[in-house]
A and B are shown apart, each in its own frame.
Chain A
Amino acid sequence: SLDPNTNPFDLHFATKLPKREVSDSASAKFLVKDEKANTLQDELNRANSENKKLTEMLARVSESYCALHKYLEEFQSRKSPENESFQNEHLTRKRKQDLDEFVSSPIGLGCRTTESISSDKATVSIAYYPADKSDLSLTVKDGYQWRKYGQKITKDNPSPRAYFRCSFSPSCSVKKKVQRSAEDPSFLVATYEGTHNHAGSNAGGSRTVKLDLVQGGLGQVEGKKERGTVREVLMQQMASSLTSDPNFTAALAAAISGRLVEQSRT
């Protein structure tokens, strides 16, 4: 729309040129974009600096935690350990799990390895021992010698829970917890953590039903040494045929874990 007769030397020539609205707004956009990029870059630098500080702090706290944990373990192994309750009382399962996940995470500077965690988990098993209700000793004859190192009352069960270490400790790190069953007080429930690295004394004097938690099924039925009557043999045969039935095994495992109780309530 510029008039071809317009004098370019006219002082007002510039005003007669068509307005460059498009290019002006593009330039403004560039400026705004540039400002935004600068702001983002600043924010990114700040976040990166915070990230670095957090990582350093985490490394320091992890080191302190590991040192303290090691110290506590030594303390526990030397002295009789009311501190055992640390694992059971003060740290909830969820938090323990979080912590395990953390120490084995690539960021975490953990003091335990993933292998040790998984191997710990892989060797947890539960055994049930028939016991006289009047017997308050919480000792079970499972073929191994144990040293009791603690006892406590739990919220879910009126009977106390006793803690034992293998008598070969510290060379054998197996531990067990024994408590009278809340569902059936005529049984003692022993939870074993770890596997013995030595032979037992084979002093089993009572019948046990052992559940391997990893397999989730019935492990083995151990009998009395002096089994010999026809009735005993028949009972053993019945037990072994039942345990080979996967439906029975599943039902038993469900009953023990309390699922059947829950189902009957709903």
Chain B
Amino acid sequence: STTSALVDELKRVNAENKKLTEMLTLMCDNYNVLKNQLM
């Protein structure tokens, strides 16, 4: 049961990491668009 709990937690954290990475990519893209506007 410990192993399965670990697996579940790992899945959850990995999914959160994926979402965070997507958000970061989006944020960086938009940040660069803004930056280019000012240049």
Complex-state Cα separation, A37 to B38, whole angstroms: 52
Q: Knowing A44-B10, A61-B31, A65-B34 touch, does A54 contact B3 (C-beta < 8 A)?
A: no
Cβ-defined contact, A107 with B23, below 8 A: yes
Residues of A within 8 Å of B13, CB to CB, are: 44, 47-48, 51
Cβ-defined contact, A68 with B24, below 8 A: no
Q: Which chain B residue has the least Cβ–Cβ distance from A65? A: B31
Cβ-defined contact, A72 with B38, below 8 A: yes
Cβ-defined contact, B6 with A41, below 8 A: yes
Residues of A within 8 Å of B14, CB to CB, are: 47
Interface pick from A90-98, A118-126, A254-262: A90-98
Main secondary structure of the interface of B (DSSP, over half): helix
Residues of A within 8 Å of B9, CB to CB, are: 44
Chain A count of residues within 8 A CB distance of the other chain: 35
Complex-state Cα separation, A65 to B37, whole angstroms: 13
Interface mask (B1-39 → A, CB under 8 Å = 1, otherwise 0): 011001101100110110111011011111101111110
Cβ-defined contact, B38 with A71, below 8 A: yes
Cβ-defined contact, A58 with B23, below 8 A: yes
Complex-state Cα separation, A214 to B3, whole angstroms: 51
Cβ-defined contact, A68 with B17, below 8 A: no
Task: Name the distance in Å between A93's Cβ and chain B's nearest Cβ.
Answer: 13
Q: Knowing A54-B24, A58-B20, A102-B23 touch, does A95 contact B29 (C-beta < 8 A)?
A: yes
Q: Is A75 an interface residue (CB 8 A)?
A: yes
Among A43, A57, A90, A99, point to the contact of B37 (Cβ < 8 A).
Answer: A90
Task: Name the distance in Å between A139's Cβ and chain B's nearest Cβ.
Answer: 27
Q: Which 7 A-B pairs have the closest CB atoms?
A: A40-B6, A54-B20, A47-B13, A61-B27, A65-B31, A68-B34, A90-B33
Residues of A within 8 A of B (CB): 33, 36-37, 40-41, 43-44, 47-48, 50-51, 54-55, 57-58, 61-62, 64-65, 68-69, 71-72, 75, 83, 86, 90-91, 95, 98-99, 102, 105, 107-108
Residues of B within 8 A of A (CB): 2-3, 6-7, 9-10, 13-14, 16-17, 19-21, 23-24, 26-31, 33-38
